Amino acid sequence: MKKSFTLIELIIVMVILAILSVITFKILARVYQNYLYVKATNKLNNKLDYTMEMISAKLRDRIRNSVIATKYPDTNHPNLVDFKGIGEITNSDTDYKILEWISKDYEAKNGIWSDALGHIQTGWSGFIDLGYNSHKIADNPKEFNVTSIDTNLTIVKLIDQNITSGYGYNQDIFESNTTVLIFSGDDMGGDIVHDLNESYGWYKDDINRFAKAVFAIKDYNTSISQTKSPNTVLDITSISENNDTTLYSRYFLARTAYALVPIENNETLEDGTKVNDYNITFIYNYQPWQGDWYKDGNSSILATHVTEFRFKKDLDTPMIRLYMCMQAPEVELNSTHNLTLCKEKAIF
């Protein structure tokens, strides 16, 4: 006698298959969700690493004593900005969200190839020979004559004017005080004449902004031989009234300040949700010693969907700590939180 499935048996089999299908579908859906989560996490992690490294690379070339934390301008006083030296920032100073600093002119320092010397000639060495014809000019207490070894300001001018012309600025970098000299100070952090208000030209609220640590390069004469590195004699003059600057054996050339400015993100997702984060805008090509502030510079977006950006200077070292969080607004972990990663980085 031939056996066959009864109707009840068929129904049981169909129910079991349906249950297995649901379980399999949930497993596959969970695997796919995990794949999307891991993919988004890796992408966000790479983005955060890249951003932190870009900021670190710029900050490594900072003139250390020039770094400030800045508040956004008050709506009633749009041109009056409050700032503090980064070493003064405490945990309660949550309103100081903009990070600014003056950078060493590393492009010109790196120099170009010299056929005469048979190697790369740096634009400026950062060293002054105090024992050779370096002195304060007697009839002008803010003017100095100094000799910098292994320095060729013709190279500095060539490199810096190529850079500034790319921004549409074609004036002579020395005559216009675009590229300037700043002495290193006792701690190699940049000369603080009195304090930040009187040293680099940051945000003075009157028209005579002080920049006593900043010197204009008025004239220079470079001697080059086939056997020795070039030496340059410079005539430098403080661009602000200054009778108390000391000659140091080290100096920096500077061409621009930089700023990192958090700006609220106005992006809206496809479902109409407003993104609650901000973008980090990188500002460059402005000179505070000329009276410029960050809104006078060129800008580009460095990072998007940043939820937190904090910075702090260690008291006993020149090290700066950066803390940054980014989110992926398209990846929801639950009804109130999106995928977010945070990292901290120390910069010496």
DSSP 228: S
> Which residue positions in the chain have pLDDT lower than 50?
none
State whether 317 and 177 are in the same domain.
Answer: no
In tens, the pLDDT along 177-188 reads 999 999 998 889
- Name the nearest CA neighbour of 179 among 166, 167, 163: 163
State whether 249 and 269 are in the same domain.
Answer: no
- Name the nearest CA neighbour of 89 among 59, 67, 64: 67
Bridge partners of 322, per DSSP, are 311, 345
Tell whether 12 is covered by a domain: no
| Domain total in the chain | 2
For residue 228, what are its two tokens? 């020795």
In tens, the pLDDT along 146-158 reads 899 889 999 999 9
Q: Which residues contact 107 (CB under 8 A, 6 or more apart)?
A: 159, 160, 163, 255
Parent domain of 117 = 101-257
State whether 111 and 231 are in the same domain.
Answer: yes
Residue where a domain terminates, one of 229, 257, 285: 257
State whether 249 and 303 are in the same domain.
Answer: no
Residue where a domain terminates, one of 230, 257, 284: 257
Residue where a domain terminates, one of 204, 238, 257: 257
State whether 155 and 169 are in the same domain.
Answer: yes
Would you state the pLDDT for residue 161? Answer: 94
State whether 287 and 160 are in the same domain.
Answer: no
State whether 185 and 218 are in the same domain.
Answer: yes
